[in-house]
């Protein structure tokens, strides 16, 4: 049983879902505390019929806190995580700030849960686009060793925050009415458009989002030899990231074998019947915690090559759900099944 768990950034889009999941899954803690900036603190958070107080995030907020889940920008994580670790709190961090540090495990529970035990106070949760792709790569890598991946992403605006979702709504209405479109979050109009840049430029003509997919994939799968070519695109979709993935493996895998491997993998749902027009779409996958795979086929343009389509709710498995699952792993072995957050929401 964990005595106290804190959610940092509880009023954000992902933070709210984290709190909902903790309550719905009856996370084994006697107390849950919600922390946020001074701007957001002080107003109760309404979640699943419960009113939860939100406290101001300060260094002493972590006194007596066993585990904290942080959903904050990088600069906030860089400041608060050391506060927490100094006070004995284990932090599950959603930001990118600590992900590539060699002493910080980068964890997807269905893929590398054993890495959790190596933490030194910080456990990182991967980028949302990386998470769903690596979930699908894992069974293929175990069976035939992935050598190279070419991935094109179709990423929802919710990955850029609540303000980005509002911009899509307002811009779409303006575009339909032939009026000037608001543009504060995105560098180009997002309504009825595609923007082939997510993140800042990096050397070699890639973006920071694309670089994350390369480096994080290798770290999670423990294989620095995997080649990854990523192109990340923002699309006018509210929720749910989609990815077109081509995988080259060391030994050949048929589409049928890949389909069986994926269907048997934890957290993956195969929805694949082209003749019946069955394949995952962002709207159908919204609000779900699984990773959905379809359009599985052999790539005849290269040996030992497969192509498939992958969709997941970026705010859930891509962020909130993955972090809560890590916290559940931390709680294993200490859980008193008779008491849960659902019974003590204080």
State the CATH class of domain 129-314.
Answer: alpha beta
- Quick one: angle between helices 13-24 and 321-331, nearest 10? 40
With a cut of 60, say whether residue 338 has pLDDT above it.
Answer: no
Mean pLDDT of the chain: 94
The percentage of residues in the chain with a pLDDT greater than 70, rounded to a whole number, is: 96
Verify whether residue 119 is a known catalytic residue: no
Determine the distance from the C-alpha atom of residue 64 to the mean position of all C-alpha atoms in its chain, rounded to a whole number.
28
Residues of the chain with CATH 3.40.50.720: 2-126+320-343
For 96, other C-beta atoms within 10 Å of its C-beta total 19
State phi, psi for 108 to the nearest 5 degrees.
Answer: -120, 115
Q: Is 196 exposed, middle or buried (0-12, 13-18, 19+ CB in 10 A)?
A: exposed
Marked catalytic residue, from 128, 232, 285, 310: 128
CA distances to 2, 192, 258, 291, 322 from 314, in Å: 27, 21, 24, 10, 10
Determine the distance from the C-alpha atom of residue 293 to the mean position of all C-alpha atoms in its chain, rounded to a whole number.
16
Alpha-carbon gap, residue 77 to 56, rounded angstroms: 15
With a cut of 80, say whether residue 43 has pLDDT above it.
Answer: no
For 38, other C-beta atoms within 10 Å of its C-beta total 9
Residues of the chain with CATH 3.30.360.10: 129-314
For 144, other C-beta atoms within 10 Å of its C-beta total 20
Cβ atoms of 112 and 217 closer than 8 Å? no
- The DSSP bridge partners found for residue 335 are none
Marked catalytic residue, from 119, 141, 239, 241: 241
For 152-156, what is the mean pLDDT? 98
| pLDDT digit string, tens, across residues 249-268 | 999 999 999 999 999 999 99
| pLDDT digit string, tens, across residues 170-193 | 999 999 999 999 999 999 999 999
Pairing of strands 90-93, 50-52: unpaired
Q: Give Cβ neighbours of residue 205 (< 8 Å, ≥ 6 apart).
A: none
Longest dimension (CA), the chain: 59
Please, where are the H alpha helices in the chain? 13-24, 74-86, 128-144, 162-176, 208-221, 255-264, 282-285, 321-331
The percentage of residues in the chain with a pLDDT greater than 90, rounded to a whole number, is: 90
- The DSSP bridge partners found for residue 36 are 56
Instruction: Provide the CB-side half-sphere exposure for 106 (13 A, CA).
Output: 24
| pLDDT digit string, tens, across residues 264-304 | 999 999 999 999 999 999 999 999 999 999 999 999 999 99
Verify whether residue 141 is a known catalytic residue: no
Q: Strands of 241-249's sheet, edge to edge? A: 227-234, 146-155, 241-249, 305-312, 291-298, 268-270
Alpha-carbon gap, residue 72 to 93, rounded angstroms: 8
Cβ atoms of 121 and 103 closer than 8 Å? no
Alpha-carbon gap, residue 201 to 207, rounded angstroms: 4
Q: What is the pLDDT of residue 336?
A: 30
Determine the distance from the C-alpha atom of residue 146 to the mean position of all C-alpha atoms in its chain, rounded to a whole number.
22
- CA dihedral angle for residue 16, residue 17, residue 21, residue 23, rounded to 10 degrees: 20
Q: Is 132 exposed, middle or buried (0-12, 13-18, 19+ CB in 10 A)?
A: buried
- The DSSP bridge partners found for residue 29 are 2
Q: Domain 2-126+320-343: what homologous superfamily?
A: NAD(P)-binding Rossmann-like Domain (3.40.50.720)
Q: What is the pLDDT of residue 154?
A: 98
């Amino acid at each position: 049983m964990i005595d106290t768990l804190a959610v940092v950034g509880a009023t954000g889009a992902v933070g709210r879902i984290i709190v909902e999941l903790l309550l719905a899954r009856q996370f084994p803690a006697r107390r849950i505390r919600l922390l946020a900036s001074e701007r957001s603190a002080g107003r109760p958070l309404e979640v699943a019929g419960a009113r939860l107080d939100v406290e101001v995030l300060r260094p002493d907020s972590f006194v007596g806190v066993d585990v904290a889940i942080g959903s904050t920008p990088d600069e906030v994580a860089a400041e608060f995580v050391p506060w927490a670790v100094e006070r004995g709190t284990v932090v599950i961090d959603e930001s990118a700030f600590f992900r590539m540090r060699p002493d910080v495990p980068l964890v997807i529970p269905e893929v590398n849960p054993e890495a959790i035990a190596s933490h030194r106070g910080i456990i990182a949760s991967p980028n949302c686009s990386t998470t769903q792709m690596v979930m699908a790569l894992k069974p293929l890598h175990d069976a035939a060793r992935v050598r190279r991946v070419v991935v094109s992403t179709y990423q929802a605006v919710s990955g850029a925050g609540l303000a980005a979702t509002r911009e899509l709504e307002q811009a779409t209405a303006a575009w339909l009415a032939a009026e000037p479109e608001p543009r504060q979050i995105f560098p180009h109009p997002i309504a009825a458009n595609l923007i082939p840049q997510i993140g800042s430029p990096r050397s070699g003509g890639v973006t920071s989002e694309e670089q994350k997919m390369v480096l994080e994939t290798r770290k999670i799968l423990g294989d620095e030899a995997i080649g990854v070519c990523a192109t990340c695109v923002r699309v006018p979709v509210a929720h749910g990231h989609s990815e077109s993935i081509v995988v080259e493996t060391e030994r050949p895998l048929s589409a049928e074998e890949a389909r069986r491997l994926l269907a048997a993998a934890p957290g993956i749902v195969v929805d694949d019947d082209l003749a019946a027009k069955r394949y995952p779409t962002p709207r159908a996958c919204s609000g779900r915690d699984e990773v959905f795979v379809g359009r599985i086929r052999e790539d005849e343009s290269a040996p030992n090559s497969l192509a498939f389509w992958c969709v997941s709710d970026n705010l859930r498995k891509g962020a909130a759900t993955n972090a809560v699952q890590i916290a559940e792993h931390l709680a294993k072995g200490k859980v008193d099944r008779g008491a849960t957050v659902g019974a003590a929401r204080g």
